């Protein structure tokens, strides 16, 4: 089932506002969770809205990605009681995939939400977005999405998409109940809404929108973009593998880390309530540092940096969705995304698993398969 929302004056933001307002006015929806531009600046943050009048500042196509909202949606749904209505959440594809992984880890629920996903046009790094938004003001989002959809993805006003977005071949909202189609669509006339689940189809029926049709040329546009992103990703993987090929190289790659743990906080699938690295286990006694220094002649502080990152790799490589928030959050500019995406790509490939793609697929380490890794465990010999 496909429906259309008219676009006037090339204003896609207004079309999203129309959609969000229509959804919020349904009796079955209590609130919508959408990206909003804050009134006190150019920052765009996820916002829970119950009054349609407050949707005036909706900005879902801004090239801003300050945080992956999956954790927030998990908090909104984890302990909600049945029968109190639903929240419609508008998410990027990588946010949907992260939320799917959190649901599998019992950190969220799907029963009381309706997921609206949009074809993703990408985003800038935080630093680049704020510079761009300051320079372009109220027109920033319009300039961005018109440039992206017209094929000028590589460089915009001297600013590239973030590395995570340039390497993202999963920019379609798999897992959404309702998908907003932008790539390969005549967005100067309309945006298309495509139901992907029964919940999405039921929502479209209630909205009573005009029928739409996905154009045949969309498939070619999407495939071309997937190929482009995959080529960039593979080149990134090759460069990263060469840069971290030994323990010494990996230590050098991470040498600017100051153990702030921002990457852990920003990661949408790093979900532990208490991280072992913030416990007394790694709050070493002062004499321990002196002992290490005496034994080696010198000891770098803070310690445990490499161990921390190796532990995170082992902990979340099966669930990483490649959103890039680890790089976005690093105060010292360490580009963690290529490292963690490379490790996740290899790990998930071994298990024939893609994080967040299928809610029914069990996480690799939660099930045992007798035919798995026989060269290691020796079963059947």
Q: Which helix (H) or strand (E) holds 110?
A: none
> Are 83 and 184 found together in one domain?
yes
> Are 96 and 151 found together in one domain?
yes
Distances (CA, A) of 225 to 1, 18, 257, 344, 366: 25, 28, 34, 22, 34
Position 13 in a domain: yes
> Are 292 and 341 found together in one domain?
yes
Cα–chain center distance at 223: 21
> Are 123 and 237 found together in one domain?
no
- CB neighbour list of residue 19: distance below 8 Å, 6 or more residues apart: 5, 116, 180, 191, 193
Instruction: Please report how the helices 12-24 and 198-207 are oriented relative to each other, as an axis angle in degrees rounded to 10.
Output: 100
> Are 212 and 355 found together in one domain?
no
> Are 236 and 175 found together in one domain?
no
pLDDT confidence of residue 299: 81
Query: Which SS3 state, helix, strand or coil, does residue 113 take?
Result: strand
pLDDT confidence of residue 309: 93
Q: Tell me which residue range forms the domain holding 280.
A: 229-377
CB 230: neighbour CB atoms within 10 A?
13
Structure tokens at 352: 């024939």
Position 165 in a domain: yes
Residue among 85, 89, 15 nearest 48 (CA): 89
Q: CA-to-CA distance for 203 and 32, rounded, in angstroms? A: 13
> Are 107 and 253 found together in one domain?
no
> Are 181 and 316 found together in one domain?
no
> Are 266 and 175 found together in one domain?
no
Position 200 in a domain: yes
- CB neighbour list of residue 70: distance below 8 Å, 6 or more residues apart: 91, 95, 96, 98, 99, 101, 102, 108, 268, 269
Position 224 in a domain: no
pLDDT confidence of residue 124: 94
Position 356 in a domain: yes
> Are 164 and 288 found together in one domain?
no
Among the candidates 217, 252, 280, a domain finishes at 217
pLDDT confidence of residue 85: 64
pLDDT confidence of residue 172: 97
* pTM listed for this prediction: 0.90
Position 127 in a domain: yes
Position 223 in a domain: no
Domain count, the chain: 2
Structure tokens at 63: 């090239």
**Which residues of the chain register pLDDT less than 70?**
80-85, 152-156, 369-381
Among the candidates 168, 196, 217, a domain finishes at 217
> Are 201 and 239 found together in one domain?
no
Position 260 in a domain: yes
pLDDT confidence of residue 62: 94
> Are 204 and 310 found together in one domain?
no
Structure tokens at 272: 């532990």
Sign of CA dihedral 325, 127, 174, 151: negative
Q: Across the strands, what pairs with 195?
A: 178
């Amino acid at each position: 089932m496909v429906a259309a929302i008219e676009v006037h004056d090339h204003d896609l933001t207004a079309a999203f506002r129309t959609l969000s307002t229509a959804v919020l006015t349904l009796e079955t929806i209590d609130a919508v969770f959408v990206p909003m531009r804050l009134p006190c600046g150019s920052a765009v943050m996820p916002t829970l809205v119950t009054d349609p009048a407050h949707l005036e500042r909706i900005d879902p196509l801004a090239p801003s990605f300050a945080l992956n909202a999956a954790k927030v949606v998990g908090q909104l749904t984890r302990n909600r009681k049945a029968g109190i209505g639903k929240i419609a959440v508008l998410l990027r594809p990588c946010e949907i995939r992260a939320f799917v992984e959190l649901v599998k880890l019992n950190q969220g629920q799907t029963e009381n939400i309706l997921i609206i996903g949009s074809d993703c046009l990408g985003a800038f790094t935080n630093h680049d977005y704020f510079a761009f938004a300051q320079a372009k003001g109220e027109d920033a989002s319009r300039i961005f999405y018109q440039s992206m959809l017209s094929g000028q993805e590589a460089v915009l006003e001297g600013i590239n998409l973030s590395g995570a977005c340039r390497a993202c071949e999963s920019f379609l909202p798999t897992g959404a109940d309702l998908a907003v189609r932008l790539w390969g669509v005549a967005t100067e006339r309309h945006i298309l809404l495509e139901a992907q689940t029964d919940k999405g189809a039921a929502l479209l029926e209630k909205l009573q929108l005009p029928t739409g049709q996905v154009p045949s040329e969309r498939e070619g546009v999407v495939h071309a973009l997937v190929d482009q992103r995959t080529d960039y990703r593979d080149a990134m993987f090759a460069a990263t593998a060469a840069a971290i090929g030994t323990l010494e190289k990996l230590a050098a790659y991470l040498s600017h880390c100051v153990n702030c743990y921002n990457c852990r906080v920003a990661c949408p699938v790093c979900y532990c309530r208490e991280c072992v690295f913030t416990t007394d286990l790694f709050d070493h006694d002062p004499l321990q540092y002196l002992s290490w220094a005496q034994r080696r002649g010198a000891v770098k502080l803070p310690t445990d940096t490499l161990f921390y990152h190796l532990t995170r790799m082992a902990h979340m490589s099966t669930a990483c969705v490649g959103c890039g928030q680890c790089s976005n959050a690093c105060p010292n500019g360490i580009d963690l995304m290529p490292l963690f995406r490379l490790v996740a790509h290899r790990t998930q490939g071994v298990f024939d698993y893609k994080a967040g793609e299928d809610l029914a697929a069990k996480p690799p380490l939660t099930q045992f398969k007798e035919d798995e890794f026989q060269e290691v465990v020796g079963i059947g010999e």
